[in-house]
Amino acid sequence: MRISKFSILFLVLIMLLGACNQETNGGGEESSGGGNDTLTWGSASLGSQGYVIIEALASTANNYVDDFRNSTISTAGGAENIVLLDQGEIQMGQATSDVLYAATNGIEPFQQETEFSQVFAYGYWSLPILVPMDSDIQTIEDLKGKRLNVGTTGGSSSIIANAVLGEEGYDIIDEITLEHLNYQEAADALNAGQIDASVLFHMAGNLVAAPFQELAQSMELRPLEFDQDILETVTENNQGLSIETALADTFDFYTEDVQAPGMTGMLVTRPDTDEDIVYELVKVLYENEEEVRNISPELNIFELDYAVEGLVKDYPVHPGAAKYFQEQGIWEDDMIISGQ
């Protein structure tokens, strides 16, 4: 996942503050659980986009909330955060819409249906498939018989790629040799000609993993165009997926924006988290949304309108968050409130 130099500086600052003020600030991985006056947030792997996002949100909240503190722990990501919420080990966590779909339906990696409440959405990822500029692969169908990296086993990119390429209209997933590489491995393999194509998450349309930024210095890439009718069918069948845009300004050699399958990212909590606490948390973050955006490019679309727009309408929203959105006039009446 991409990390900006500014984000790295921010993380160093957070760690130094945590070391100097661990007792009062409750920040950092050494915190274990959230007493009555502490909310523990689950982030993601150290240095990932999810980690940067949660550190930024919890830190900003601590600047303005007096009634409770916010502590963070590094986790394996959204799926583990849902489990930790269910077990009461954390009170807040980052997740993505594809993970919420799996939790709601009790499918892999979940063993049973697992409850959660959405709080707000903070970003989105699009997932185009990239090939070298001089590749003979011109369409999605041309991937048949080719070697395609779909990301690490069980990861969101693998789940989304399998869903789209296995959909009727394409139905070519069984005719492709699938590789499960991380971004560094995928960039190296593309450069060496060991794979023919790779998926690549674009956060907020144009933020991509560092290994591909480096690869772009020596190799030009182009995204394949998806059939819009097939994408619409996939998203209708799977509430966890959406159609998002990979922006032309991602790389100098991109020529236009590309519509691709994707997902949204959101903060989630337990359904029984105190309503007043969630309301206050949402309120202070959006009253200071410009400060949040300025922390890191990973939060450059953190704004009130997207807070609701990026949520999955079929899944419940915590009543504390819903109350704030109703006051701001952005609540949508067809959305679900937990416990109602």
* CATH number of the domain where residue 196 is located: 3.40.190.10
Count: domains in the chain:
2
Q: What confidence tens digit (pLDDT) does each residue in 71-84 have?
A: 999 988 888 999 99
Residue 104 is given by DSSP the state H
pLDDT beyond 50 at 21: no
Q: What is the pLDDT of residues 179-209, one digit of tens each?
A: 999 889 999 999 999 999 999 999 989 999 8
Write down which residue in 263, 288, 305 finishes a domain: 263
CA distance 159 to 264: 14
Q: Is the confidence at residue 30, as pLDDT, over 70? A: no
Q: Is the pLDDT of residue 20 over 60?
A: no
Specify whether 61 is located in the same domain as 172.
no
pLDDT given at position 242: 93
**pLDDT single digits (tens) 127-166:** 999 999 999 999 999 999 999 999 887 678 888 898 899 9
- Answer yes or no: do 259 and 130 share one domain: yes
Give the span between the Cα atoms of 316 and 340, in whole angstroms: 9
Is the pLDDT at 328 greater than 90? The verdict is: yes
Residue 36: predicted pLDDT: 57
Among the candidates 238, 263, 288, a domain finishes at 263
Hey, how many other C-beta atoms are within 10 angstroms of the C-beta on 271?
13
pLDDT at 22: 35
Residues 96 and 118 in one domain: yes
The reply to whether 155 and 167 lie within a common domain is yes
Q: Are residues 153 and 255 in the same domain?
A: yes
Tens digits of residue pLDDT in 163-186: 899 998 999 999 999 999 988 999
**Which of 167, 176, 148 has its CA nearest to residue 226?**
167
Domain boundary at 231, 263, 295, which? 263
Do 156 and 282 reside in the same domain of the chain? Answer: no
Residues 241 and 305 in one domain: no
pLDDT of residue 28: 41
Domain that holds residue 306: 5-123+265-337
Q: Are residues 78 and 178 in the same domain?
A: no
d(CA 111, CA 10): 37
Q: What is the pTM of this model?
A: 0.81
pLDDT at 108: 79
Question: What distance in Å separates the CA atoms of residue 149 and residue 146, rounded to the nearest whole number?
Answer: 10
Is residue 31 predicted with pLDDT exceeding 80?
Answer: no
pLDDT digits (tens, 9 = 90+) for 261-303: 999 999 999 999 999 999 999 999 999 999 999 998 999 999 9
Give yes or no: residues 112 and 92 share one domain: yes
The answer to whether 139 touches 225, Cβ cutoff 8 Å, is yes
Q: What's the pLDDT band for 61 if we cut at 50, 70, 90?
A: very high
Question: Does one domain contain both 270 and 242?
Answer: no
Same domain, residue pair 137 and 247: yes
What tens digit of pLDDT does each residue of 217-231 get?
999 999 999 999 999
Termini Cα distance of the chain: 37
Is the pLDDT at 249 greater than 60? The verdict is: yes
Per-residue pLDDT at 332:
93
Residue 269 · residue 278 · CB < 8 Å: yes
pLDDT tens figures, 84-141: 999 999 999 999 999 999 899 888 788 899 999 999 999 999 999 999 999 999 999 9
Does residue 239 register a pLDDT over 90?
no
The verdict on 204 and 221 lying in the same domain is yes
User: Which amino acid would we find at residue 46?
Assistant: L
Greater pLDDT, 287 or 17: 287
